[in-house]
Amino acid sequence: MTSVTTTDGRGAAGAPVRALTVLYDAERVLCTHLRGWLARQPQLVPLELLPAGSAAARARFPGLDHSSGLEEVTVVGDSGQVYRGSRAWIVVLWALREHRPLAHKLATPAGAGLARGAALAAAKWRDARGPGRRRGGPWGGQAYRRADGWSYHPRTGWSYSPPSRAGAAPTSG
């Protein structure tokens, strides 16, 4: 079961989505290119495109972790739903008239792996662009590790190592 987080702590999993705000990194070439592409697409659900970490984004979503929006795409629904990474891209595709059928396919268990792979490939391409990287950003071309177990090294690319469950509560099953 996928959980949906919200910007204000309320459960928004059952709320209809009538509008989406896409937070993108305005300092990255790939992100700004995709922003332009999204703006030209016919939309079934209106998309507002807002630079992540900007004063406008911080004012609009004060409870959101804005630093993570600079590392992966973040989408916020009008009822407070927050989607990140590949799930965010699936939601964005769902909002586009010509790409909704693809979003439905990517939302399946089989499609989710493809969506995750595409998001990781885009991140690898984006981070390898040298001057197109985020200026003054924390990555700086070194190994990059995420809490979900994915890591990127400039020489070997992306790899996955499940996070340690040491200290985790036992699961019942």
Give the pLDDT of residue 126.
53
Between residues 166 and 143, the one the model is more confident about? 143
What does the DSSP assignment read for 35-68?
HHHHHHS-BSS-EEEEETTSHHHHHH-TTS-TTG
What percent of the chain lies above the pLDDT cut of 70?
A: 59
109-137 confidence digits (pLDDT tens): 877 766 666 656 655 555 555 444 444 44
What distance in Å separates the CA atoms of residue 23 and residue 75, rounded to the nearest whole number? 6
The band of 95, judged by pLDDT with boundaries at 50, 70 and 90, is very high
Strand order in the sheet with 157-160: 144-145, 150-153, 157-160
Of 36-45, 69-78, 152-161, which range is least confident? 152-161
Q: In the predicted model, what is the mean pLDDT of residues 64-75?
A: 76
The band of 77, judged by pLDDT with boundaries at 50, 70 and 90, is very high
26-38 confidence digits (pLDDT tens): 887 777 888 898 9
Give the pLDDT of residue 116.
65
What distance in Å separates the CA atoms of residue 69 and residue 151, rounded to the nearest whole number? 17
Pairing mode, strands 20-24 and 74-77: antiparallel
Q: State the Cα torsion 24-156-130-146 to the nearest 10°.
A: 30
Going 129 to 113 to 64 to 149, the CA torsion angle's sign is negative
> Rounded to the nearest 5°, which phi and psi values hold at 111?
-70, -25
Nearest CA-CA partner of 131 in 25, 32, 27, 52: 27
Q: In the predicted model, what is the mean pLDDT of residues 90-94?
A: 91
Between residues 159 and 84, the one the model is more confident about? 84
Average pLDDT, the chain: 74
What distance in Å separates the CA atoms of residue 147 and residue 163, rounded to the nearest whole number? 7
Q: What is the pTM of this model?
A: 0.62
Give the pLDDT of residue 47.
96
